[in-house]
Chains A and B, each alone.
Chain A
């Protein structure tokens, strides 16, 4: 690798100061599991990395029943999947974060980094979207927010300006009769990048009979993760059934824009969007009804 400097500030202000006027030559470093790989491969050259793991706002997990869950951008995946409140209240998020790499990767990789790396196939992003995640961003002009589904603009590209920093992601408190699930398809059983990923969430009416809200987000089938809005619209007010889920799956397939690359073919991906949408909706439904397993 080309030589670079290492900074490890302890405040958001100091990070922002380090980013000012540097274009993309100075990068925040959280887990390093994407950044270091890209630097080593020569896809990225930097003059300095700014370690953000010592900054309190980026490294905390806060859950309060009425307020929801805030996860700092530099919190490593292993803390997220082992956190009792997250496991209990946001199992759909755990579904996704638990799939990022293997044990050692989760020991370092962060959910915030997974989001900022903005791979179309990122596992955490469809789950964040269907859980209504909001990104909190610090910059020279102060703090701003962005819904998770609008954070990515293209492969490897986000709405973050070069002088901005993702601080945390916030999830609203889950309502009763709400469930979410993330599933992905990979050729092996672990360690692969998703060929297709689907996150789904549903909320049921007080009679447990009809869907009041549904969100389906697709990963690895477009330049960014896709919130398939037509799916949510089609399911609203309907009874959850094989028929309504089949229609949802069909609409999800239409919303997908898959390509053929070394990890999968267009036809395979489009087909899998349908399969995984049905399965993820079933999983979300089971959780909404109070089951724990998430449709696996």
Chain B
């Protein structure tokens, strides 16, 4: 059995520690070691975006990051988008616009969209589409996803209230 390395990393705001082999990707570590199964494997080679997470606030394909590479860094996964106030405005917008069907690509798309709106408060439709080009969706045809992201722009501008279900 190959030697394991200790990784200390902040995930969704919480300082965590785990042991992993260098050959285990960040995606594997999240899913198989930490039980954070929200990030998904779609292709394992950086072409579908289902594994997207934020690494130091940048969107990356967690399948192409080694677990050992994130020692001392910060990761945000889909599980970290909602907080004590409720769902993130993007998540709520996705619910309201029915911007998901099977829901498998949804975590990656939410992560990528959040990274965009954190940086560019009011992106054009073209900009959203180009930004999300690496997040494949097979169910929705992207229409309602784009509309949800556009709608989230306005919601993010508002102060966040407790979201009622």
Contacts and interface: CB of A to CB of B under 8 A. Distances in A.
A32 interface: yes
A101 B23 contact: no
A6 B58 contact: no
B96 to A, nearest CB: 24
B56 to A, nearest CB: 9
B145 interface: no
Interface string A204-231: 0000000000000000000000000000
Given A36-B66, A37-B64, A104 B46 contact: yes
A104 B112 contact: yes
Contacts of A108: 60-61, 64-65
B124 interface: no
Size bracket of the B interface:
20 to 34
Size bracket of the A interface:
20 to 34
A78 interface: yes
Contacts of A6: 5, 22, 66, 68-69
A227 to B, nearest CB: 29
Contacts of B22: 3-6, 49
Given A78-B58, A104-B112, A32 B23 contact: no
Given A6-B5, A33-B46, A190-B130, A107 B59 contact: yes
Nearest to B67: A6
Contacts of B123: none
A3 B21 contact: yes
Interface string B49-92: 10010010011110011101100000000000000000000000
A51 interface: yes
B44 A102 contact: no
Given A78-B58, A103-B115, A108-B65, A191 B25 contact: no
Interface stretch (B98-106, B131-139, B153-161): B131-139
B45 interface: yes
Interface in A243-264: none
B74 to A, nearest CB: 14
B134 A191 contact: yes
A196 B131 CA distance: 23
A19 to B, nearest CB: 17
A104 B46 CA distance: 8
A4 B131 CA distance: 34
B133 A32 contact: no
Interface string B118-132: 000000000000111
A103 B115 CA distance: 10
Contact of A104 (B2, B5, B61): B61
B76 to A, nearest CB: 13
A189 interface: yes
A76 to B, nearest CB: 8
Contacts of A37: 45-46, 64
Interface of B: 2-3, 5, 21-23, 25, 44-47, 49, 52, 55, 58-61, 64-66, 68-69, 112, 115-116, 130-135
25 contacts: A3-B21, A3-B22, A4-B2, A5-B3, A6-B68, A6-B69, A29-B66, A32-B64, A33-B46, A36-B25, A41-B45, A53-B69, A101-B134, A102-B133, A103-B59, A103-B134, A104-B52, A104-B112, A105-B46, A105-B61, A107-B61, A108-B60, A190-B130, A190-B133, A191-B134
| Nearest 5 pairs of A and B residues by beta carbon | A102-B134, A3-B2, A190-B133, A6-B22, A107-B58
